[in-house]
Chain A
Amino acid sequence: MAETSYWTGSEKYLCDPQLAQAFHMARTLGMPLLIEGEPGTGKTELPIHYADSQNLDLFVYPVGSKSNMEQFVARFDHVKYLRDSQIEILNAQRAEKGLESKLSTGGRNPESLGDYVAKGPAALSYASTNSVLLIDEIDKAPREFPNDLLYALSHRKIIMHESGEEITVSEQDMPAIVITSNREQELPTAFKGRCIYHYIHFPDKEVMAQIVEKHHPEVNERVVKVALDIFYHLRRLGLERAPTTREILNWLKYVKDHKPDEAIRKIEGLEGIGALIKTQADMERVSRMLGTDPNQFSMN
Chain B
Amino acid sequence: MLSTLPEHFRNHGLPADVRTLLLLRRALERGLVTTLGDMYNVLKGIVVKEPEHMGPFTKAYYDYFLHIKVQYGQSLEDAILRSETFKNWKDSKLREADEDSSISLEDLVSKFLDEVHLTTYDIKEVISGKELFEKNDADQADQPSDQDEEAESVERKLEKMADYSDLSLQELLERLEKIKDQQKDKHGGGSHWVGTGGISPYGHGGGAKNGIRIGGAGGGKMARKVMGDKNFFPIDRAALLNDNNVDAALASIKGVIEESAIEKLDVPQTIKNGLKRGGLFIPELSSEKNEELKVIVLIDNGGYSMSPYIRTVQNLFR
Contact = CB atoms under 8 A, between A and B. Distances in A.
A6 B124 contact: yes
B24 to A, nearest CB: 10
Interface residues of A, number: 22
A36 B51 contact: yes
B23 A29 contact: yes
A25 interface: yes
Interface string B217-247: 1110010010000000000000000000000
A281 B271 CA distance: 54
Given A18-B218, A21-B41, A22-B45, A29 B15 contact: no
A193 B48 contact: no
Interface string B113-146: 0000001010010000000000000000000000
Contacts, number: 54
A151 interface: no
A189 interface: yes
Interface in A193-226: 193, 196-199, 201
B41 A25 contact: yes
B26 A29 contact: yes
A197 B41 contact: no
Query: Interface size for chain B: under 10, 10 to 19, 20 to 34, or 35 or more residues?
Result: 20 to 34
- Chain B contact residues: over half helix, strand or loop, or mixed? helix
A199 B48 contact: yes
- Chain A contact residues: over half helix, strand or loop, or mixed? helix
Interface in A7-24: 16-18, 20-22, 24
B218 A26 contact: no
Interface in B15-44: 15, 19, 23, 26-27, 30, 32, 41-42, 44
Given A185-B257, A189-B49, 14 more contacts: A17-B121, A17-B218, A18-B219, A18-B222, A20-B121, A21-B121, A22-B41, A25-B41, A25-B45, A29-B26, A29-B27, A193-B15, A196-B46, A199-B51
16 contacts: A6-B124, A18-B41, A18-B217, A18-B219, A21-B41, A21-B119, A22-B44, A25-B45, A28-B27, A29-B23, A185-B257, A193-B19, A196-B46, A197-B48, A198-B45, A199-B48
Interface of B: 15, 19, 23, 26-27, 30, 32, 41-42, 44-46, 48-51, 54, 119, 121, 124, 217-219, 222, 225, 257
